[in-house]
Amino acid sequence: MDNYYLGIDVGSVSTNIVLINNDNELVFNRYLRTQGEPIEIIKSGIKELAEDYGEGNILGVGTTGSGRYLASIIAGADIVKNEITSHGIAGLDYNPEVRTIIEIGGQDSKIIIMRDGIVVDFAMNTVCAAGTGSFLDRQALRLDIPIDKFGEKALTSTNPVRIAGRCAVFAESDMIHKQQFGHNQEDIIKGLCDALVRNFLSNVGKGKNIQGPILFQGGVAANQGIRQAFEEALDMEVIVPPHYDVMGAMGAAILGKEKALSQGYTNFKGIDLYKHNYEVGTIECKDCSNICEILEIKEDNELLARYGDKCGKWAFKESNMYKVEK
């Protein structure tokens, strides 16, 4: 029986669930909309995994993303890592010589500076959405163009217009203004791609020593117009890995594999975890001025975990009842 390792990346927009083999090759991939229900989406993805692979032989689990702690509790992760580390590990696995990783998702964007296989610097976007995928989705909707055709349209532009890109609101207003002047749709789209890249480089990439090889990861990497805009702005080749949209989950899976192998067991609860019922509630602790909001998770009405307190007094984690010796 083949050995597999599970990676779960829970974000505000999407949840990615992947399975890799011993050679870190992707054998299963599910992209699911989180829709404000991360637990149900995780269960749905694991159910699909169970249907495709049966009981399987999952010997390690890693979680990442904004919902990584929740995913860890539900699945029984061996390691929990932030998005920077996970994307960096996946990028290194694809290209050991990588020196810069650009990652743009639906709600956030980040730049990771690598040197000799180590993350030496990074930055993430601020509150503005002008440099993210949600901004492009909104403009594609306004222009009545499928988002998967957006990049192709940009490549046909011969006279791109300049659109203010420092703010999502101003960019949209400027785009409408350009439409009213009668500019071609493809020139406006190319202008939007250029604006997003300028925003990224002047905000997230400000002061960063960007060197090649450069990897472009995240869902927006599918947009050929954005990739071209980055190459023009940086005057360097920008490489899009084959599994650009799930690199965070792949990185988590690789880290979960390494952790499980080093400790000699996995905390994974089993492929049938989707059959359980989970409830999430909160407790407000008033024992000190911090007034911590404690998140409490129950599995089939039994307390599974508590977290969120600053002092640790409420912390509760299940014992190693799910350990599977290898």
Q: Do 57 and 79 have their domain in common?
A: yes
Quick one: pLDDT at residue 324?
43
Q: What residues have CB less than 8 Å from 290, skipping those under 6 apart? A: 310, 311
Answer whether 14's CB lies under 8 Å from 219's CB: yes
Q: For residue 318, which amino acid is it?
A: E
Domain that holds residue 49: 4-86+248-276
Q: Do 14 and 102 have their domain in common?
A: no
Q: Do 155 and 235 have their domain in common?
A: yes
User: Is residue 313 pLDDT above 50, yes or no?
Assistant: yes
In a domain, 307, yes or no: no
User: Is residue 189 pLDDT above 70, yes or no?
Assistant: yes
Q: Do 76 and 143 have their domain in common?
A: no
Question: CA dist 237 to 191, 200, 233, Å?
Answer: 20, 17, 10
Q: Identify the three-state secondary structure at position 29.
A: strand
What is the per-residue pLDDT across 41-50, written as a single tens digit (0 to 9) for each?
999 999 999 8
Rounded CA-CA distance 133/260 in Å is 34
In a domain, 188, yes or no: yes
Q: Do 27 and 107 have their domain in common?
A: no
Report the domain count for the chain: 2
Question: pTM of the full predicted structure?
Answer: 0.84
In a domain, 73, yes or no: yes
Query: How far out from the chain centre does Cα 47 lie?
Result: 21
Q: Do 197 and 259 have their domain in common?
A: no
Per the omega criterion (within 30 degrees of 0), is the bond before 213 cis? yes
User: What whole-number percentage of the chain has pLDDT above 90?
Assistant: 40
Quick one: pLDDT at residue 320?
40
In a domain, 318, yes or no: no
